[in-house]
Structure 1
Amino acid sequence: MIWSSEDVARDAVRRQGAGMPAKRVAEAVAQAAVRKRETAEDLRCGVRVERGLVASDPERLAEAWAARHIEWRRVQALMEASGWETYEPERDSIGSGWAAEREARREQALAAHAAHQERRREAAEEVRTEVWLPAAPSRLLRQAAARSGLTPQEVLAQLAARLVVDVDGAVSVAPFMPSH
């Protein structure tokens, strides 16, 4: 699952701001404003920023700091309007709503991934084949299928399920009646 720059900013501010006093939130707003300005300038000039061994995409970095600045300003405005001394993420109804939405999307993505993996495992275990039979055996197969109310493919699948291979490699099937 890929989060937008806003999702990443909201999550980061929520975690970093937990228990942060109003003065430190104001400092975070100021720092984010500076970083937003710097990364926007780097983007205009085409500067590639390298952090350690990884070169950052200037456009993504500028988007990330712009989103963080917006989120820090939102938290600051919330704290001022509510009269909070410290930021408490669980009391932030908007931030909590976004966090719940991100978690729901994450759970949905994990469930979809697990279902996809299960389908891949099942597909790896099944064998698909095309069988060309001479006219006489094909006629017998269609008759057996018609009597049992199955398709010829279903009769062949039941036949294959009953295959026995002995130690010498001989393949045999005991007599059976195809059924639903």
Structure 2
Amino acid sequence: MWSVEDVARDAARRQGRGLTVEQVAEKVAEAARREWETQQQLHAPAETETGPFATDPEHLAQLWAAKHAEWLRIATLLETSGEQAYDPEQDARGVAWAQERQARRQGAVDRHAAWARKRQDAKDELRAQVWLSADTSRRLRAIAARAGLQPEQVIAQLADHARMDEDGGVAVAPFTPHLVEES
């Protein structure tokens, strides 16, 4: 859900709170070193482990490049603002990015919740395959054709109108099959 830039920005905002100009410079130097190291690993022969917990060297290189860029941005911000320590709440661009990430996260959460509701509704539905005799099938097709419906729609309406009495008997009052608008 988050890009490498999002991860780098979030990490820098969390780790950078209260860091002095000198400490931010150390973060820039560390990120530059790690960026260089991960780039070197990309071009080296594959000696890395493979498996379910192995890191993707390309992703790691991209992440350190993004972290380096973000720490440079913060260092430049401190230099131009004259502040002696980094305060994420005073970083207008960082605040905007954090709000954008939060909005995207909330959108994803909302979409997932809607999907989960839809799946729950689908669980409450019944799909059935019914085998009918040739005579019953012909009558059903004729009724459906006359009403301008599919045979499945007639069966669904028939089931909707069916009622059970106290003795367990099922009865269907006369009704006219009709096209139902879906919502």
Q: TM-score range by the shorter chain?
A: 0.7 to 0.9
TM-score (norm. length: structure 1): 0.79
Could you say if the C-alpha distance between residues 84 and 163 of structure 1 is closer, same or farther in structure 2, counting changes exceeding 3 Å?
same
Q: How many residues align?
A: 172
In 1, the alpha carbon distance for the partners of 2:81 and 2:29 equals 21
In 2, the alpha carbon distance for the partners of 1:137 and 1:31 equals 76
In 1, the alpha carbon distance for the partners of 2:116 and 2:143 equals 39
Unmatched 5+ stretches in structure 2: none
Residues 120-147 of structure 1, C-alpha deviation per residue, up to 9 Å, x if partnerless?
111122123466643445545666x58x
In 1, the alpha carbon distance for the partners of 2:47 and 2:61 equals 11
Partner of 2:66: 67
In 2, the alpha carbon distance for the partners of 1:41 and 1:98 equals 30
Aligned amino acid, residue 10 of structure 1: R
In 2, the alpha carbon distance for the partners of 1:117 and 1:27 equals 46
TM-score (norm. length: structure 2): 0.78
Pair 1:118-2:117 in alignment: yes
In 2, the alpha carbon distance for the partners of 1:12 and 1:167 equals 66
- 8 Å CA contact 1:36, 1:69 repeated in 2: yes
Pair 1:93-2:92 in alignment: yes
Could you say if the C-alpha distance between residues 34 and 134 of structure 1 is closer, same or farther in structure 2, counting changes exceeding 3 Å?
closer
Matches within 5 A, 1:28-177: 28-45=27-44, 46-48=46-48, 54-129=53-128, 133-136=136-139, 138-139=141-142, 145=147, 156-164=155-163, 172-175=170-173, 177=175
Partner of 1:21: 20
In 2, the alpha carbon distance for the partners of 1:6 and 1:96 equals 14
TM-superposed deviation, 1:106: 0.7
Aligned amino acid, residue 23 of structure 1: E
Could you say if the C-alpha distance between residues 172 and 7 of structure 1 is closer, same or farther in structure 2, counting changes exceeding 3 Å?
same
In 2, the alpha carbon distance for the partners of 1:49 and 1:137 equals 64
Could you say if the C-alpha distance between residues 47 and 140 of structure 1 is closer, same or farther in structure 2, counting changes exceeding 3 Å?
closer
TM-superposed deviation, 1:159: 2.7
Unmatched 5+ stretches in structure 1: none
Partner of 1:5: 4
TM-superposed deviation, 1:113: 1.1
In 2, the alpha carbon distance for the partners of 1:42 and 1:111 equals 39
